[in-house]
Structure 1
Amino acid sequence: MDPVSVAFASVSMAELCIKYKNAEKELQQIILEIEGYWLKIEDQVTFLKDHWSSLGERYQVHQNQVLQELQSTLQNAIYVLDNLLGKPEEISKWQKLVSKPGEPSRVRYVLYAKTSLDRIIIQLERWHRQFDPSWFLLSRMSDSILSRDFESSRDSDSSAISTIAKLREAHEESQTMLMPSPSSSVFLGKDYELRDIETIPLGHSSMGLTEDGRRVIVDHYSLRNAVDLNTAKKDVRDLASILSKVDPSFSSLLPCEGVIRTDNPSESESHFRMIFTIPRTLSYSTPSSLRSLLLQKNQSYELNERVHLAVSLARSVVFLHASRIVHKNITPENIILLQSKGENLGTPFLVGFERFRFDERRTNMMGDDNWEKNLYRHPQRQGLQPEEVYKMRHDIYSVGVCLLEVGLWSSFVQYTENNQVAGPDSELPIDSLVGEKNKRRAAAEINAILVEKARSTLPQLMGKIYTDVVVSCLNYLDRDNPLFSSKSDFEDEDGITVGVKYIEKVGITALSLAEANISIYKGSVRN
């Protein structure tokens, strides 16, 4: 049987649960959890199988590898259960063996089973996080059969399939040149009110309360030079429409519930305010910017939490790029964290869309000389007159700088007590370069300092896998970067090749491996 067929020949978790329905109650619960994960992905796996010939070669190779990992995990679950419970006709013998409370054999069986199956659940959860970003890319594939079948699946019972169907619909709408009307659904009416609006400390977004008392995140978008109001209105409408379809649990982005338009903004107001919904489970915490947390050097967070933050940030960028959205402003000020009960660091969400653009649309090639912003920009995108148009791959450089700070748990930018930028961190020797007249040379030297800091300091703190991810992001556009052998790697029609390579090499897969590495050794990072 060929590898693709093997990958799709996964066991039915429903049948598995029926087979072991008389097992110990503790095991029953765990088996049901395994079935729950399978039900989440069964429709997705089936959809890929039915449309395999419509997928590009690079995408097929990637999914084949990912699906084989799924098959291995599911087969391991069957193996564990068969060894624990025996064949169906032998289950009664096993029940007699473990039926007496306190018997050593019963304790051994239950503890071994629970430990083994708990590990399988963790593997399935990690696999799903790895699989989701590549699933996003289906929203960009232009195959006619895919378009037809997704169109008919808009109201599918599978949230994963219906989400992609709605995203494709939003993408198609954004390609039209129709201007948004005042009645466009993403624009909120004048009766929509916000109160108690406060800026998130050391963040570029705000938080406020709706009329019904819900806490929301508010993003601000103002017109820049050479951008007319109608063009900006369409861009904001299309962005809000796409982000209204996101599922925060796997995109690490907050769903947009609408846009407030300000007809005659004053100097202190923005032209548009995008309103983002906070998930109910996270709505009781006060949002914090990543910058404010990085500056709290006396606060320590477990390695698992920091790597989870990194994985979530990578996932949000994959989602945006799959939707042809270039963020252009990925910094710790635009990453907010929300905590559910019992969480310490919390769940990160990427916000701050004031400078965004769609990849295929106009760009104004404008920059600035703010060193604290240029620090997160690729050397080709720094200064008043950047060398290159801002593209998706420049976002990946920004991610690399953020991941370096997260790995070191140190803020490269220091602030005064009045929340004003004070200067570079004392452990980042770039003071002399910040005021350098030759900005291009200074930018290249700062990049070299960041790469060297990653290579010399990160391995002992976060491990080799995490270090390689950061260095790959910081060297993303280098000609000798082995990840991209030719210019054509960036230029496939739908952006699928570069998306898959990002996921494979400098995105979810590598960071998930780092997360697994850290989980297994519980804080003792091994390479």
Structure 2
Amino acid sequence: MDPLTAIGIATTCYEIGAKMIEVCETWKEADREVQERVVIIESCWDRTKRQVDFMLRLTSIMDDDQRRVMDDLLAQLNRSLSLAIDIIETVIRRDSLTRPSLLSFGSRAKKASWVWKKSALDDIMRDLERWQRRFDPSWFLLMKIASPVVDSELARARAADGRRQGPATVTENPLTVAAGLRNVLSPNLDQARSLILPNSPMEWLVIPFSDAKAARRVSGSDTRWYIVDTIEVGPAARARDVSRDVRLLATKLAQADPLAFGLLNCKGVMAIPRRTPYADPNASPDAGSPQHLGLPSPPPYPRSPSPSQRDFSHFQFVFRIPDGMEVLQSLRHLLLNSDEHISLSQKMRIARELAKAVNYVHTFAFVHKNIRPESVLCFEDPDGSRSNVFLVGFDAFRAADAGTMMAGDMSWDRNVYRHPLRQGDDPADRYRMQHDIYSLGVCLLEIGIWESFVEYTSENETPPGGKQLAKFGKSYYQFQAWMKEKSATGGRQGSTTFLDSLAFKLKDYLVELAHTRLPPRMGEQYARVVLSCLTCLDDDNEDFAGLEDSASDDVVAVHFIETVMKLLDGISV
């Protein structure tokens, strides 16, 4: 579709949207709940218009894939708005047909009218929010286009948007967030200096079965709780590269809108030199603390090392906790401890938000390398009315264009989430975005069947004060039984070692689980998403077909948005 046609469709959308808002305005005299819904729809439509306006000004510099995706999204918006008008007109007709002829029925008819309006507005909000979820990933991907046109149009749009106040959230300030994202895609390391935090004693809270911990300062005025994600600098690691990537990622995540990106906003990083004593995060909890989970406070830290210092033991990302989110647990904890009959809507919410977070890690030009339930935090507000999922566990991350250490290990609890070519002590393939997509597929499979692939030792099986350790469990032994049943001996074609054979058999086993156990539980479309992720590097994969090893990260991202995120959002529950 050429730019003029796109503008024509957008103009039609604007006309329909204006009609929708005009009618909704007349409903503001209704009860409070109707008024609240009208305000939300007005805000959503205002944001949509600003983003579409900006997108249209970039059509001339989009590549064919991006233009095709945007054309499809505009057509979807047109359908959603047309449906909104139909819903509104149905309510208006019903309202006029049921007006009472007797005054005594007036209050009952008025109450019925409010109910119809609330229901109609709920349907409209749901459709607009679903469209926005599909639009945002492709819209933010436009910020990666290397063209001065993007910068000039952002400057122009933000100048017109300058009257807007408030925090830089996607809901209120989408162009401000987009500009911040573009600004940090190729940051100068000097930008990260303000994010180097002073090392100070912390009170720690263990998050069961998580790669991250909660912490707050022991002294000072800031008593808020934060999420702390630790990045170890192993003896074999290239310390200079790790230090650079840590500062780059911190700079980028400082621009993250948590609710929009599924990534917590970064307050800063504490760089811990090797010579500095610090509290062991695996030490036994201090039973005397009020929380009964807090770790002993570490001894005082010396002055923070400068960003140029290289002899670090580890880095600690300090992430802000979103307002109102107080109930916290890891996805692994949920899988191990919640009822197997967890609602389908909750499973779909976790799946969608996890896929969103993986997408935005890639938009920020990083690969995660550690996507598993221990790296996923699930937050709820106190009354359980709102929940969100965030991806942490950046222990092995690196910049997407950087080299890879080609290092691994033999642990089941990690290898079950790794592509066969990334398993073992000496992985056969360099890490790329598709390997994150494979790991996501394993997590989505686990969420779909709601069965933890990893189990942990109980308190009785660990030394006093020791950390619970991952162990072989039900899923591992089911895999062993499956191999025995298949009488699988020798390696697959192209594999030369026992590990190659075992790794690919594990992948085959997971693919079979997705074929057999997912459709009855989650439906055919969810199963297709999982299978697409698990086979994203296979030659016969239909959704990622034609992607060569040299395919750019942005091309991979477009395919991911179209085949994974779009399909997940299209599932109705």
- TM-score with structure 2 setting the length: 0.80
Whether the aligned pair in 2 keeps the contact of 1:100 and 1:106 (CA below 8 Å) is: no
State the match for 1:186 in structure 2: 195
Q: Deviations over 1:68-96 (max 9, x none)?
A: 1112111222233344437xxxx999988
Secondary structure at the aligned position of 1:480 is classed as coil
User: What is the aligned length?
Assistant: 500
**Separation (CA, whole Å) in 2 of partners of 1:70 and 1:243:** 30
Alignment of 1:75-86 (within 5 A): 75-85=82-92
RMSD: 3.0
**Residues 160-180 of structure 1, C-alpha deviation per residue, up to 9 Å, x if partnerless?**
111121111111215xxx5x5
Distance 2:133 2:229 in 1: 27
User: Are positions 1:131 and 2:135 aligned together?
Assistant: yes
Mapped contact 2:57–2:153 kept (Cα < 8 A): no
1:511 match: 568
The amino acid that maps onto 2:554 is I
Residue identity opposite 1:415 in structure 2:
Y
Q: Does 1:11 align with 2:14?
A: yes
Partner residue in 1 for 2:457: 416
Distance verdict in 2 for CA 1:509–1:100, change over 3 Å = farther
Q: Could you say which residue in structure 2 is the equivalent of 1:224?
A: 234
Query: Which amino acid in 1 is paired with 2:360?
Result: F
Asked whether the equivalents of residues 17 and 32 of structure 1 are also in contact (C-alpha less than 8 Å), the reply is no
Q: Matched residues in 1 for 2:173 and 2:336: separation?
A: 38
**Distance in 1 (alpha carbons) for counterparts of 2:401 and 2:346:** 36
**Which segment drifts farther, 111-120 or 236-245?**
111-120
Q: Aligned letter for 1:444?
A: F
2:37/2:118 contact within 8 Å kept? yes
Judging changes above 3 Å, is the alpha-carbon distance between structure 1 residues 224 and 78 closer, same or farther for their aligned structure 2 residues? same
Paired with 2:58 and 2:375, the residues of 1 have a C-alpha distance of 37
Q: Matches of 1:344 and 1:84 in 2, distance apart?
A: 28
> By how many angstroms is 1:18 displaced?
4.2
AA in 2 matched with 1:340: D
Q: Distance in 2 between matches of 1:297 and 1:38?
A: 38
Q: Deviations over 1:276-322 (max 9, x none)?
A: 0001110x22x211111111154642110110100000001111111
In the alignment, is residue 376 of structure 1 matched against residue 417 of structure 2?
A: yes
- What pairs up with 1:44-123 in 2 under 5 angstroms? 44-85=51-92, 101-102=105-106, 106=110, 109-123=113-127
Post-superposition offset of 1:136: 2.2
Contact 1:166 1:245 in 2 (8 A): yes
User: d(CA) in 2 for partners of 1:390 and 1:381?
Assistant: 7
- Residue type at the aligned position of 2:547: K
The separation in 2 between residues aligned to 1:259 and 1:375, in whole angstroms, is 30
Closer, same or farther: CA 407–105 of 1 in aligned 2, 3 Å: same
For residue 33 of structure 1, report the CA deviation from its aligned partner: 2.6
Relative distance call for 1:266 and 1:394 in structure 2 (3 A) is farther
Residue identity matched to 2:178: I
- AA aligned to 1:430 is F
Question: Of the candidates 274, 283, 297, which is equivalent to residue 317 of structure 2?
Answer: 274
Could you tell me how far apart the structure 2 residues matched to 1:167 and 1:56 are? 20
- Percentage identity across aligned positions? 31
Q: Distance in 2 between matches of 1:98 and 1:39?
A: 41
1:444 aligns with 2:504: yes
SS of aligned partner of 2:14: coil
Aligned to 2:332: 291
The CA deviation string for residues 233-274 of structure 1, in whole angstroms up to 9 with x for no partner, is 221111000001011111111000001111234594752111
Higher alpha-carbon deviation: 320-329 or 143-152: 143-152
User: Is residue 145 of structure 1 aligned with residue 149 of structure 2?
Assistant: yes
Amino acid at match of 1:67: L
Could you tell me which of 482, 497, 519 is aligned with 2:555?
A: 497
SS in 2 for 1:280: coil
Distance in 1 (CA, whole Å) between partners of 2:210 and 2:246 is 21
Quote the Cα distance in structure 2 between the aligned partners of 1:452 and 1:488.
26
2:206 maps to a residue whose letter is T
Partners of 2:113 and 2:533 lie apart in 1 by 46
Residue type at the aligned position of 1:510: L
SS at match of 2:264: coil
Q: What's 2:364 paired with?
A: 323
How far off its partner does 1:149 sit? 2.6
Judge which range, 325-334 or 8-17, deviates more.
Answer: 8-17
Work out whether 1:429 is the aligned partner of 2:478. yes
Identify which of 246, 251, 261 aligns with 1:236: 246
Q: Which stretch shifts more, 46-55 or 97-106? A: 97-106
**Deviation readout 1:401-421 (Å, 9 max, x if unpaired):** 111111111101111113212
Structure 1 gap segments, 5+ residues each: 519-527
What is the distance in 2 between the residues matched to 1:172 and 1:459?
A: 42
Secondary structure of 2:389's counterpart equals strand
Q: Matches of 2:567 and 2:239 in 1, distance apart?
A: 42
Is the 8 Å Cα contact of residues 490 and 498 (structure 1) preserved in structure 2? no
TM-score normalised to structure 1 length: 0.87
Where do 4+ consecutive residues of structure 1 move more than 6 Å?
Answer: 91-100
CA distance, structure 1, for counterparts of residue 507 and residue 348 of structure 2: 23
Q: Cα 1:85–1:297, aligned 2, differ >3 Å: closer, same or farther?
A: closer
Distance in structure 2 (CA, Å) of the matches to 1:81 and 1:43? 24
> How far has the Cα of 1:195 moved from its partner?
2.6
Q: 1: CA distance between counterparts of 2:568 and 2:75?
A: 19
1:294-305 to 2 correspondence within 5 Å? 294-298=335-339, 300-305=341-346
Q: Distance in 2 between matches of 1:423 and 1:498?
A: 34
What is aligned with 1:525?
Answer: none
Describe the superposition over 1:21-58 as per-residue Cα deviations: whole angstroms up to 9, x where unpaired: 44451455433332121012221111011221121111
Cα deviation for residue 325 of structure 1 reads: 0.5
Aligned mate of 2:517, from 453, 457, 464: 457
> Residues 187 and 153 of structure 1: is their aligned pair in 2 closer, same or farther, counting only changes over 3 Å?
farther
**Which residue identity does 1:168 align to in structure 2?**
R
SS in 2 for 1:62: helix
Tell me the amino acid that sits aligned with residue 188 of structure 1: L
Residue 5 (structure 2) pairs with residue 2 (structure 1): yes
5 Å-filtered alignment, 1:252-401, equals 252-263=262-273, 264-265=275-276, 268=280, 270-282=313-325, 284-285=326-327, 287-298=328-339, 300-343=341-384, 346-401=387-442
| Structure 1 residues 445 and 207: CA distance shift in structure 2, 3 A | same
